Amino acid sequence: MDRGRAIPRAAPAVAAYGYVCLDVLVAADGIRQMAGGTAANVAANLSFFGWRAMILGRIGDDPAGRAVVRSLARSGVSTRRLLQDPSLDTPLVLHEVGNGGHTFSFRCPTCSAGLGRFAGAPAQAWDVAALNDRDVFFFDRTAPASLELAENARARGSLVVFEPSVPGRIDQFRRAVRAAHIVKASSERLPRLPAISRAGRIVIETKGAEGLAVWYRGREYRQAAFSIPIVDAAGAGDWLTAALLEGLRSRRHDKLTLTQLRNILRQSQAFAALACTVAGARGIAEILSPRAFRSRARRLRSGGKVQAPRPALVHIRTRRPTCPDCHAPLPPTANGTSRAALAELGRQLISTTPPVAKSINPRRRMQEAKI
């Protein structure tokens, strides 16, 4: 591994680039809207731990995009380098958490239209020099802009973390791996990705209920998962990534012993497990303070019993987005969980903005419906 610098203990800084969307979550405690996507979640989670977090990406200049910006701002994440393009629809992801587990959809359940797609940023979208104060660069998508930022971050000694979810172009993928000090991927996604070189970097494979595997300095180590009642596992991997980086404060990744890395990862697994006890990728941060979260993670790691925190009716929105094609409100009330959630919000009639002719209002717009 090439020489890097230690992540400072006081107010470390991270820049995260990649998939940013608006999550619309239906759960027993109501309907919530919040910024989502791996890059946004990692940035928000690190902000929760006290980092100076910045998000980079490209979304639409539409109501959904503005909701993303507001959500990230509430989480303490800087959005001044989040590009908002009026020609794009901000991606929307519909989540539902119930007795049947967690389901999600990228399409309107009424007309099956896609609810926005990831749009990469062009090369030189940002001034590289403006990110010189970042101690960590995280990215989950390969694009000309992210590759340029990753390579420059590595050259100046910052820690580079790559968490691929889709292969993209093979040449760009290999370039991203070469720039990264840490590569993390789930066992579900690895078979769809090109081979990842383990030489000179930390490679982490998360395996859900089976724990994780890590490769470091030519050695492989497997670590079991914590046994804990699961409400919603979505976002657990993003908490593990954030907790791993939090554990690297005042340390250099290339100077870790295998034991130190295993200890940091074990603590990170505790945070990820606790995040599964409430609904929503960042639901735990709405209920617990950073101090309480850390205390529970230490207790879980030491073998103590940890009760799931009681959900609080927080950040429940009374406005819902609509499909850009058919203008149906999202999410629909097609099943019991959604009906119960709407009942808690008053079960009022849904009124939508009437559709406008496509020649005047193309699908690159998002309207909102009131409950």
CA–CA gap between residue 51 and residue 6 (Å, rounded): 15
Tell me the pLDDT tens digit for each residue of 318-355.
456 667 666 666 665 444 444 444 333 332 222 222 23
* 9 against 173, higher pLDDT: 173
In this model, does residue 300 exceed pLDDT 90? yes
Which DSSP string do the residues of 14-82 spell out, in sequence order?
EEEES--EEEEEEETTEEEEEEESHHHHHHHHHHHTT-EEEEEEEEESSHHHHHHHHHHHHTT-B-TTE
The answer to whether residue 307 is domain-embedded is yes
- What is the distance between the alpha carbons of residues 46 and 55, in angstroms, rounded to a whole number? 11
Taking CB atoms within 8 Å and a gap of at least 24, the contacts of 116-120 are 116/21, 116/60, 116/64, 116/88, 116/89, 116/90, 116/91, 116/92, 116/324, 117/89, 117/91, 118/19, 118/91, 119/58, 119/59, 119/85, 119/88, 120/58, 120/144, 120/145, 120/146
Of 46 and 233, the one with more pLDDT:
46
Average pLDDT of the residues of the chain: 81
State whether residue 285 is helix, strand or coil.
helix
167 pLDDT more than 60: yes
The average pLDDT across 180-197 equals 88
pLDDT of residue 237: 94
User: What is this structure's pTM?
Assistant: 0.82
Query: In the predicted model, what is the mean pLDDT of residues 4-23?
Result: 88
Q: Does 4 map to a domain? A: no
Nearest to 62 by CA among 36, 85, 31, 81: 85
Residue 351 lies in a domain: yes
Where residue 29 falls among pLDDT bands split at 50, 70, 90?
A: low
- pLDDT band of residue 305 (cuts 50, 70, 90) is confident
**Residue 7 falls inside a structural domain:** no
Q: How far is CA 130 from CA 7, 108, 153, 160, 347, in A?
A: 18, 38, 11, 16, 48
Placement of tokens 């980079």 in the chain: 56
Instruction: Tell whether the model's pLDDT for residue 38 goes beyond 90.
Output: yes
Identify the domain containing residue 220 by its residue range: 13-370
**In the block, which residue shows the tokens 């490769």?**
215
Residue 268 belongs to a domain: yes
What is the number of other CB atoms lying within 10 angstroms of the CB of residue 357?
7
Q: Is 8 part of a structural domain of the chain? A: no
- Say which range, 135-139, 248-252, 305-309, 359-363, has the weakest mean pLDDT: 359-363
Encoding tokens for residue 326? 């058919």
DSSP category for residue 209: G
Residue 249 corresponds to which amino acid? R
- Choose the weakest-confidence range: 34-48, 163-177, 342-356: 342-356
Helix (H/G/I), strand (E/B), else coil: 370: strand
CA distance 333 to 222: 43
Confidence of residue 58 (pLDDT cuts 50, 70, 90): very high
Rg (CA), the chain: 20
| Mean per-residue pLDDT, 169-198 | 89
Percent of the chain with pLDDT over 70: 80
Closest CA to 15 of 128, 166, 168, 183: 128
Residue 304 above 90 pLDDT? no
Condensed to tens digits (0 to 9), the pLDDT of residues 147-161 reads 999 999 999 999 999
Residue 84 carries which side chain, given as an amino acid letter?
Q
SS3 (DSSP) at 282: coil
Q: What is the mean pLDDT of residues 299-322?
A: 65
Establish if 237 belongs to a structural domain.
yes
- Specify if 281 maps to a domain: yes
User: Could you tell me the CA-to-CA distances from 273 to 22, 131, 208, 241 in Å, in that order?
Assistant: 24, 32, 10, 13
As a whole number, mean pLDDT of residues 63-77 equals: 94
Taking residues 92-118, what's their average pLDDT? 76
Owner of token pair 């230490």: 298
State the distance between the two ends of the chain, measured CA to CA, in whole angstroms: 54
DSSP letters for 313-358: --SB-SEEEB-TTT--BSS---SHHHHHHHHHTT-PPPB-PPP--T
Res 245: pLDDT: 96
CATH number, domain of 269, equals 3.40.1190.20
Q: What is the DSSP letter of 89?
A: P
**86 sits in which H/E element:** none
Q: Number of folded domains in the chain?
A: 1
pLDDT in tens, 260-287: 999 999 999 999 999 988 888 888 998 8
Q: How many Å apart are CA 87 and CA 32, to the nearest integer? A: 26
